[in-house]
Amino acid sequence: MIPERLRWLTDPQGAPATLGRLFEDAGHALYLVGGSVRDAILGRPHVDFDYATDARPERVKEIVAGWGDTVFTVGEAFGTVGVRRDGRTHEITTFRSEIYREESRKPRVTYSDTIEEDLSRRDFTVNAMAIRLPGAETVDPHGGLVDLARRLLTTPLDPHVSFSDDPLRMLRLYRFQATLGFEADPAAEAAVREMAGRMSIVSAERIRDEFSKLITADAPGEALLALTESGLADVFMPELGQLAMAQDPVHRHKDVLRHTIAVAEKASPDLVLRLAALLHDVGKPATREFGPSGVTFHHHEVVGARMARDRLRELRFPKEVVEDVRRLVFLHLRPHTLKMGWTDSAVRRYVRDAGPLLGRLNELVRCDVTTANERRARSIQARIDELEERIEDLSQREELEALRPPIDGHAVMEYLGIPPGRQVGEIMAMLLEKRIEDGPYTEGDAYSLIREWAVSGGLSDPGPRE
Model confidence over 17-63: pLDDT tens digits?
999 999 999 999 999 999 989 998 888 877 789 999 999 999 999 99
User: Helix, strand, or coil here: 240?
Assistant: helix
Which CATH fold would you assign to the domain 4-145? Beta Polymerase; domain 2 (3.30.460)
More confident residue, 69 or 45: 69
CA 283, 285, 287, 292 torsion-angle sign: positive
Can you give the pLDDT at residue 100? Answer: 62
Return the pLDDT at 281: 93
**Please, which pLDDT band fits residue 75 given cuts at 50, 70 and 90?**
confident
pLDDT at 395 over 90: no
Contacts of 326 (CB under 8 A, 6+ apart): 305, 306, 308, 309, 312
Write the DSSP string, 104-159. Answer: -SSEEEEE-S-HHHHHHTSS-GGGS-EEEETTTEEE-TT-HHHHHHHTEE--SS-H
- Quick check: helix, strand or coil at residue 8? helix
Domain chopping of the chain, boundaries: 4-145, 151-236, 262-401, 404-456
Q: Decide if pLDDT at 436 tops 50.
A: yes
pLDDT-derived band at 253 (thresholds 50, 70, 90) equals very low
What is the pLDDT, as a whole number, of residue 251?
47
Q: Over range 290-304, report the average pLDDT.
A: 77
- Kindly report the number of other CB atoms within 10 A of residue 173's CB atom: 29
For 213-238, the pLDDT digits (tens) are 999 999 999 999 999 999 999 999 99
- For residue 191, pLDDT beyond 70: yes
Stretch 318-339: mean pLDDT, rounded?
A: 89
Mean of pLDDT over the chain: 88
Query: What share of the chain has pLDDT > 70, as a percent?
Result: 90
| Contact assessment for residue 67 and residue 60, using Cβ atoms and an 8 Å cutoff | no
Q: Measured between alpha carbons, how far is 138 from 116 in angstroms, rounded to an integer?
A: 12
Single-letter amino acid code for the residue at 350: Y
Check residues 336 and 361 and name the one with the higher pLDDT.
361
- Dihedral of CA atoms 305, 308, 313, 319 in degrees, nearest 10, equals -50
Of the chain, the end-to-end C-alpha distance in Å amounts to: 89
pLDDT of residue 252 exceeding 60, the answer is: no
Fold designation for 151-236: Hydrophobic Seed Protein (1.10.110)
